[in-house]
Structure 1
């Protein structure tokens, strides 16, 4: 790794861009913009992750960004622009961690900078908060005004839309009518999913949102109750994602998958329209 880093920095020094070494922390908060990483076609950028990543999960526009493979699972990833990036050109790089812990993925915005390039980026993950005792949990409950103060809601509020009921007998799963929410930079879907198949329990672990145009958003699954859902019982599931690109439309397929491989697909989920841009004060 030291040889690789030394070679990377040496090549960067031969270009007009000054090489940088940085450390960024991934929080998993969909409302936060991705970390910008300065890349170039002259110098590769090396990412060193604090834990193993799934190399097959790497998503980027390979016509513009070259990915150097370093094995099935690794903590190291190297990328480089295929050609010089234009002014304002951005490419999203997304990877998933292999251990399944939160945050489950990391997203970066790859851009060009006229004077520097990120030759080496150390990626840390924000550690989850240690579970507190019941009294501490009550004390940590957010007040309604925190939605505004923390930037999760604008002055126009949080628009909602209804999610239709869906039953899949083949998968042994069904959902009741739910609600879709849209805030500043985030979407959230609330559905109650019932496990119809016995004696198999079901634990929701992953969620994906797919638009008619093929745009995919990976969601973070939050369960009201931990543990397996017995046959005949329902579990309240929250799926949180970032806002989709403007061209993706508003109709999506919401898929919620369990640890046993069973998936419930809700085919026509309409997300709320974005709120109007608020006037500057």
Structure 2
């Protein structure tokens, strides 16, 4: 059943902010980002860091044949998939991997040329991974540089659009007037749904949920979560979030707001995650992940649906 916007979120919309406000790093939910790494024969070359995340694939593509038996992966038991081919390696971390964990990966080449191996540092993130990593030992062709320039132009244009959006929001008035002036409502108001009963929580989270509300406007969606202290000695504040659908589509998170840190003796706190949405309502259920500054203490909520 749909309801009008709750007093809690309406207060946030009208107030235009509050304590513990964090801007989640922008991430594009469209397209495939390609990381390119060039190796040199110098043994002093530092190991490149590559982001990995539980349940998400990271694929390495090499321009030389590699030894499938020569894959040296630290913490191999933390990976659900380790699939090595002649020129590829696909990794899928399992839930056993801890956010912030750093694991060494070494690949050995078959042709005996220098460098004879390549070493990477896999850095575990709660929700972000590098999907495709191209590794070059030989001189790259001009077409790869052209593609890199094309991607850089796309990223620059996305940054320009993001800056324009931020400037427009900063110049807009606060409160309900701001929502109207930025066309967030577009004449349809805010739709609301209590999804508490249907939302599941992964075990071992940094805090427990009390209620979960979902909201949608013409251009935005939001999730409001009330959290209770989970027994951790250290205070906990969400600084980042992701909203990922069953088909691995990811909504672009715009901001994460928390009413105050969760700490021993403190009251329950609310977290609001706001994300961009297309003109049509996001379909199906989403998984919401929240993490703190060190990314080790996370909260995962499944089956979040929007009105």
TM-score range, shorter chain: 0.3 to 0.5
More helix by share: 2
Q: Does 1 or 2 have the higher relative contact order (CA < 8 Å, sep 6+)?
A: 2
More strand by share: 1
If the length of structure 1 is used for normalisation, what is the TM-score?
0.45
